[in-house]
Structure 1
Amino acid sequence: MTIKTLKDLFIHDLSDVYSAEKQMAKALPKMARAAEDPKLVEAFKLHLEETQGQIERLDKIIESTPDLRLKRMKCMAMEGLVEEGQEIIDSVEKGPVRDSGLIGAAQKVEHYEIASYGTLCALAEKLGYTEAKKLLGETLQEEKSTDEKLTLIASQQASLETVSK
């Protein structure tokens, strides 16, 4: 896809994040099964539900904006981040160390998504896509909230590690 205008960039980035969310919808159940900490398992399951809602929001943006059509593409960044998470699952025994690795992998994803949705919100505003900006902003807030929850779980794990030594 040749990108010449802000609208082209918006469509490209929207297509990219759509692919990213679809990949996460497939990865999150694996991450939940691989985790041991019940709070982490629950966080992954909750984020799967949110991710499905985020995909629905993206569909709503496309449906409500007639001049937007997603491009068929694969988000290579998300593919790499998902692969990193899979490497943790494959190479680390189930337990607190794997959980810490999974939290790190998930937070890398969240930070990527936060950057993506922040950019999309700014582009939507510049292009006058008011409804798209609102919907993208809702997703941005969910991604930030998920990142905060993962940080809390990680800090609670670190506290338990210190107590158990």
Structure 2
Amino acid sequence: MARLTFDGCAHTLSLLDSDGSIVDTWTAYNNVDRRATFKHISNGTYQIQDKSKPHSHPGDSEEGSYGTYGIIRFSYPGHPGVGVHSGQTHSRYKPGPEHPTMGCIRTTDEAMKKIKEHMAKSSLSTITVSNNSACSAMSATQKFENIYIPPGMNLI
């Protein structure tokens, strides 16, 4: 089975084949919105829930919350629905992978497309998160605490 790895300091997401060889690596972030119930995904290895194809939502698109190819959810204690996805490609505020999420890892549509294609041949088993301490995975609000956000404006 294939697996994913996320490095919070390097801001990379890698897809590894069943033999451990790296298929590809892409930019990814775990920038978490201040309204989320946790600050970052803790280091560890988590079981993938969507093993053979990403979970899709009606209207998924590159500008949507989850991107064109849906979300690959994994089992994270106390937080159902956490996963890897793309989206917000052209957002005015921190477009693409750097755009804050409610706890997920955001990457590119290119990454999600390739991972989805690979999942059709070799299902995913786990994601290993490393170097994702509170200092490297600071919430988006902490990173940009001096930015004024007008009432009614939403960062997501």
Q: State the structure with bigger RCO (CA 8 A, min sep 6), 1 or 2.
A: 2
The structure where strand makes up a greater share of residues is 2
Query: So what's the TM-score if we normalise by structure 1?
Result: 0.30
The structure where helix makes up a greater share of residues is 1
* Bigger Cα Rg: 1
